[in-house]
Amino acid sequence: MVSVASYNIRKSLGTDRRRQPDRILEVLGEIDADIVALQEVDRRFGQRTSSLSVENILNHTAYEPVRFGTRPTSLGWHGNTILVRKGIEVVTHRRLTLPALEPRGAVLADLRVNGATLRVIGLHLGLVGLWRSRQARAVLDHLHKLEERLPTIIMGDLNQWTTEGGCLAHFAEHHHVIAPGPSFHSSRPILSLDRIITSLDLDVEAAGVHMSAQAKLGSDHLPVWARLKLRAPQEPR
């Protein structure tokens, strides 16, 4: 069993218009997932400094970040990064560039968790439907080209307002698309923008939206989570 979560932290800017990274760290502690995909972790301009410092993550949470940033003070790639519970081995990690009118990217990490190797992708898709579909296909094409096939989890803010179709249709061709529930806007969630997608060899034991008081203040998105179980390989007949 592995627990995962995805959280668009909006550069740690809360719904009260206060930038409080410590509040985001508290929410991460509440979720207590093994693996977390974060979106909008870095400031947008200048040096793209992370709104969460590596030191605070290491000292005040159970996590360590996978470093995807290309600048010394940046943690993510186009705002995306992955946190793993301390003790989980990062086998490899890489940045993916996605087609877009505006800068977009995704991050990938292969992780050793409880004796199994999992592939995790964190992403934040664009605001325009045509480009979201192209970005989804780009992610799937990249996975297809990788030599080693692994149980895969794709998490992030898909910016897909509809419950089906669009970029979701591309992911659904060969994956489970989990809709944990409405996650936006955190003060009154009505849209399921944040999704968790898995390869067919992973079973969903439970999924939901984390709706604590701190989460409602921490960002305009609520975190989504899932508990997953790797399906045992079938015996040959």
* pTM, to two decimals: 0.94
CB-based contacts of 207-211 (< 8 A; 24+ apart in sequence): 207/178, 207/180, 207/181, 208/180, 208/181, 209/180, 209/181, 209/182, 209/183, 210/5, 210/27, 210/30, 210/31
Residue 49 is predicted with a pLDDT of: 80
Q: Is the pLDDT of residue 67 over 90?
A: no
Q: What percent of the chain stands above pLDDT 90?
A: 82
Reduced to 3 states, what is the DSSP secondary structure of residue 169? helix
Give the H or E element holding residue 123: strand 116-124
Q: Is pLDDT of 60 > 50?
A: yes
Strands 35-39 and 2-8: parallel
Which of these ranges, 15-24, 58-67, 111-120, 226-235, has the smallest mean pLDDT? Answer: 226-235
Confidence of residue 73 (pLDDT cuts 50, 70, 90): confident
Mean pLDDT, residues 34-42 taken together: 96
Residue 2 exposed, middle or buried by CB count within 10 Å (0-12, 13-18, 19+): buried
pLDDT at 236: 47
For the chain, which domains are there? 2-230 (3.60.10.10)
Q: Please give the Cα distance from 187 to 193 (Å, whole number).
A: 14
